[in-house]
Structure 1
Amino acid sequence: MRHTLPLAPQFYVTAPQPCPYLEGRLERKLFTALQGEQAEDLNDTLSKQGFRRSQNVLYRPSCSDCNACLSARIRVADFAPSKSQKRTEKKNAQLARRTRAPWATEEQYELFRKYLDARHADGGMADMDVFEFAAMIEETPVKSRVIEYSARADDGRTRELAAVCLTDVLDDGLSMVYSFYDPDRHSQSLGTYVILDHIRLAREAGLPYVYLGYWVPGSPKMEYKSKFSALEVYIGGTWERMENPADFDNRPHPLSNDPIAEQVAQISLPNAQPVRKR
């Protein structure tokens, strides 16, 4: 029997799990498979509506009583680095950038494990083995790149990996899917530098946005994203400029979220495909 993919994406909802950003809350995700000939179009279209990619899945928070997670992106043309960010760029001027196809290496995995053990030892990715890491990097049905940043080693002759970012190339920007760096180099603010370099890459490519993933007001893990100028957040179905992070609240309201069926009905798809709800 021949099996074919459905004509339109089908959307599902995960079971509630403890929220990794705000203590005492539960998270739930709305997701759909990313596959087939229209994978890139779907990734482009849903990324503009607050979705993120994880391997061959696109997802967006859909919590029943909380809407604190806001997709964030930087308007490249309007971005101006702060004094602190200019210092970060100067501190990392010696880093060499290399852009590769999405293929995992042992050196990447060693840096990834070092990063997790130091920064996210109790997180959901803490137990990822080398095969799961390879899947995260390599299982992509869209245009993706692995961008590596290396520093000169102590011997002065060789270079060693300092930071890595898995990046999707969208039709309107660069989406930073996942980044990690050497925690021993904390004084270099590598996480900030990788974002600054992606802004530079997007500007060179003529792409208007750099997508940062989710920003959560009140979450210390996400505070760094609000320090970038020209930031927008996706809220209420539109992108809004973030003038002041303090204007955003993470306190849930019982009437703030639409039912799942209404959320799915409001999603726009490429080529005006109908939406299937499951």
Structure 2
Amino acid sequence: MSWYDRQCSLEIARLERQLDRYFVNMRMDCPYQLPYTATFYQALFGPLTDHVMELFLAAGYRRNGNSLYTMRCTSCSACIPIRLHPGEFSMNRSQRRVLRKNNDLSVHFNSVQMNDENLQLCERFLRQRYPQKNNTALGYYSGFFLNHIVTSLELHYRLDGRLIGNGIIDIGENWLNAVYFYFDPDEAQRSLGTFNILTMVDFCLQKRIDYLYLGYYIAGVPAMDYKARFRPHYLKKGETWQRCDEC
């Protein structure tokens, strides 16, 4: 375990003891369609300092709206937090192709906005990618993306002025948290999810941000598989972030 992770582990342990009474276990069907009951250990928060959010991310927590949560499923441990250390990352041949394929796009940072353009694209994405669910773009923005816990931004990807992709991110002094990414399903051949991560890696390198959190990796779930192709990456197993060069 690195000095950084050891220090974060000590600090979050003290914080968890203080805050445990505010957390509840929420049980529901697995959102990733695994045949288990999912248990979200979560609590609502007000504004957090940059450092406190950093501690929660290093401990494997995720943000959903104004809640922070981690998974405590009794019958499953498939959800594994994954992060990149941008300074160590090396693009493979496929990722270089994705970069070239999307060099005609413009990329801009924006505040998180629940406007018509974003809602229409998000709605198209949800309807085509997850038609079995009752999710709506309005629900995602009002209950998931927008928050008053941390600083959040959108990464807009445009083709000739048309919005074709949008990444929701949380950002701190030494960390970046990928919250969600949606895109135009008609542009699937561009591998925009991969391009979004490459863009975030580049931003981290420019700003000297050491840790890029990509959410959960679940082996065998197609929507998650591409994350593991960014190498080296780190998977949080138990209390330790383990470097993976080939896995």
Aligned residues: 229
State the distance in 1 between where 2:51 and 2:132 align: 35
Q: Is the 8 A contact 2:54 2:175 kept in 1?
A: no
The residue aligned with 1:32 is 43
Fraction of identical pairs, as percent:
25
Higher RCO by CA contacts (8 Å cutoff, separation 6 or greater):
1
The structure with the largest alpha-carbon Rg is 1
Whether 1:148 and 2:150 are equivalent positions in the alignment is no
State the distance in 2 between where 1:129 and 1:89 align: 28
Task: Decide which of 10, 14, 22 is 2:26's aligned counterpart.
Answer: 14
Assess, with a 3 A threshold, how the Cα gap between structure 1 residues 21 and 136 changes in structure 2: closer, same or farther: closer
Shift of 1:33: 1.9
Which segments of structure 1 move beyond 6 Å, counting only runs of 4 or more?
none
Residue 211 of structure 1 aligns to a residue in which SS? Answer: strand
State the distance in 1 between where 2:185 and 2:34 align: 25
The superposition leaves residues 182-239 of structure 1 with CA deviations (integer Å, 9 ceiling, x where unpaired) of: 1101111111100100000011010012111000112222111111111101111111
Letter in 1 for 2:155: I
The superposition leaves residues 69-102 of structure 1 with CA deviations (integer Å, 9 ceiling, x where unpaired) of: 1000111011111111001000101111111122
The residue aligned with 1:50 is 60
Residue 224 of structure 1 aligns to a residue in which SS? Answer: helix
Shift of 1:34: 2.1
The residue aligned with 2:70 is 60
Q: Is the 8 A contact 1:12 1:30 kept in 2?
A: yes
Task: Decide which of 105, 111, 115 is 1:105's aligned counterpart.
Answer: 115
Letter in 1 for 2:147: E
State the distance in 2 between where 1:196 and 1:143 align: 21
Q: Is the 8 A contact 1:22 1:219 kept in 2?
A: no
Assess, with a 3 A threshold, how the Cα gap between structure 1 residues 175 and 136 changes in structure 2: closer, same or farther: same
RMSD of equivalent CA atoms: 1.8
The residue aligned with 1:87 is 97
Assess, with a 3 A threshold, how the Cα gap between structure 1 residues 118 and 11 changes in structure 2: closer, same or farther: same
Q: Is the 8 A contact 2:166 2:182 kept in 1?
A: yes
The residue aligned with 2:171 is 169
State the distance in 1 between where 2:235 and 2:207 align: 23
State the distance in 2 between where 1:128 and 1:110 align: 10
Q: How does 1:95-244 map to 2 (within 5 A)?
A: 95-123=105-133, 126-130=134-138, 132-152=140-160, 159-244=161-246
Assess, with a 3 A threshold, how the Cα gap between structure 1 residues 100 and 192 changes in structure 2: closer, same or farther: same
Residue 28 of structure 1 aligns to a residue in which SS? Answer: strand
Shift of 1:29: 0.9
**Unmatched 5+ residue regions in structure 2?**
1-16
Letter in 2 for 1:168: D
State the distance in 2 between where 1:198 and 1:188 align: 17
State the distance in 2 between where 1:8 and 1:35 align: 16
Letter in 1 for 2:26: T
Q: Is the 8 A contact 1:70 1:214 kept in 2?
A: yes
Assess, with a 3 A threshold, how the Cα gap between structure 1 residues 171 and 113 changes in structure 2: closer, same or farther: same
Residue 206 of structure 2 aligns to a residue in which SS? Answer: helix
State the distance in 2 between where 1:32 and 1:135 align: 14
Task: Decide which of 65, 70, 74 is 2:84's aligned counterpart.
Answer: 74
TM-score scaled to structure 1, two decimals?
0.77
State the distance in 2 between where 1:43 and 1:34 align: 11
Shift of 1:39: 4.7
Letter in 2 for 1:21: Y
